[in-house]
Chain A
Amino acid sequence: MPPALPLDEAGQYVAGAYVVFLLLILIYVAIIGAKVARIQRQVSELLELTEEDGPEEGRSPSVHARPDAESQHQTAGLEAPRR
């Protein structure tokens, strides 16, 4: 068994090992965080669309009064956030 490394040299290796561990966890959490943020953004986009859609659902006669405008708006709105 070779003699133990002096503290200053051993410290670099130990710090390296712990930094690798922390970096792995941080990168992983950052990637998951980015995914969650994207999901949140898409949910709020969908929510906006359904809220715009909501009041018109209740009064169906007026929806039918402007059919083309609404369908174009919905189709465009739904396709825009797709990734």
Chain B
Amino acid sequence: MYSKGFRPIAIATVLLTAVAFGLVFFYAPLDGDQGFIQKIFYVHVPMAIVALCGFVAGGIMAIKHLRTGDRSWDMRSYVAIHLSIILGTGVLITGAIWAKASWGHWWLWDEPVLVSFLIVFLLYCVYYPLRFSIEDRDRQARYSSVFAIAAGAFVPINFVAVRLAEQITHPRVLSQTGGSLPGEMRLTFLVCLVAMTLLFVTLWKLELTSKQASMQLKRLRGRLELRAEERAAMQASR
């Protein structure tokens, strides 16, 4: 079910990621202010955008689950959030590296962009203990969906709030005047963003396929065990 179209997407991801890396290091010009260190921008910002969109997508899939009662939507939502957490970890680490190189500090607590992203990240870290502390599968799916919707709604609100806050150190990449990237840099950034999105979709499909296979295997094993027990009972009764 989930593996449909996996191969072309995976191939496109590998090719586009290679092209994106090529553009970053051989095509995009050096930034006038930051020099070579600005190359981190092409991995850090797309990762942050895709992670935040993944959280929102997880919320939308959770809505689908609550509306339809189809547990596969809960699984989709869970995998989207799981992947976004992984990308979020990458955003925090690459951001800290960039901050150290650019501002001389690993972290700045008075910068709204950094702190708000950390709050969103920590909020979603709560998703795991919430989900796995519930044993009943239906309740687990329902409660996780409610959490995913509430947290997913928080992400855009948080994004807007940060845009409205005073800019201290961190630049606003998607600001109203943010179209100031030179043509080569913008093209490189867009290719990186598409490559990151494709990577997310590929890994999402990969994990869903693996989870589905695992569940099918469990069901099959259960059926075989049941059949073996029935046969044993029949033989014992003879």
List A residues at the B interface (Cβ < 8 Å): 1-2, 4-5, 7, 9-11, 13-14, 16-18, 20-21, 24-25, 28-29, 32, 35-36, 39, 42-43, 46, 49-50, 64, 67-68, 70-71, 74-75, 78-79, 81-82
> Could you tell me if A13 and B97 are in contact, using CB atoms closer than 8 angstroms?
yes
- A54–chain B nearest beta-carbon distance, Å: 12
The 8 closest A-B pairs by CB, nearest first: A4-B35, A67-B235, A13-B101, A10-B36, A71-B232, A17-B94, A10-B37, A74-B228
When distances are taken between beta carbons in the complex, the residues of chain B under 8 Å from A7 are 35-36
Q: A24-B86, A28-B86, A36-B210 are in contact. Are A10 and B217 (CB under 8 A)?
A: no
The answer for the CA separation of A64 and B103 in the assembled complex, in Å, is: 79
Query: 16 other contacts beyond A14-B40, A32-B207, A46-B224, with CB at 8 A cut-off?
Result: A2-B103, A4-B34, A4-B36, A5-B101, A7-B36, A10-B36, A17-B44, A17-B94, A20-B93, A21-B90, A24-B86, A25-B203, A32-B210, A42-B221, A46-B221, A81-B221
Among residues of A, the one whose C-beta sits closest to the C-beta of B95 is: A17
A–B Cβ pairs within 8 angstroms, 20 of them: A2-B102, A2-B103, A13-B40, A13-B98, A16-B97, A21-B94, A24-B90, A25-B199, A29-B206, A36-B210, A42-B221, A64-B235, A64-B238, A67-B235, A68-B235, A71-B228, A71-B235, A75-B232, A78-B224, A82-B221
When distances are taken between beta carbons in the complex, the residues of chain B under 8 Å from A13 are 37, 40, 97-98, 100-101
- Contact indicator per residue, chain B 190-227, by CB within 8 Å of chain A (1) or not (0): 00000000010001001100100110010011001100
- A45–chain B nearest beta-carbon distance, Å: 10
B43 sits at the interface (CB 8 A): yes
When distances are taken between beta carbons in the complex, the residues of chain A under 8 Å from B210 are 32, 35-36, 39
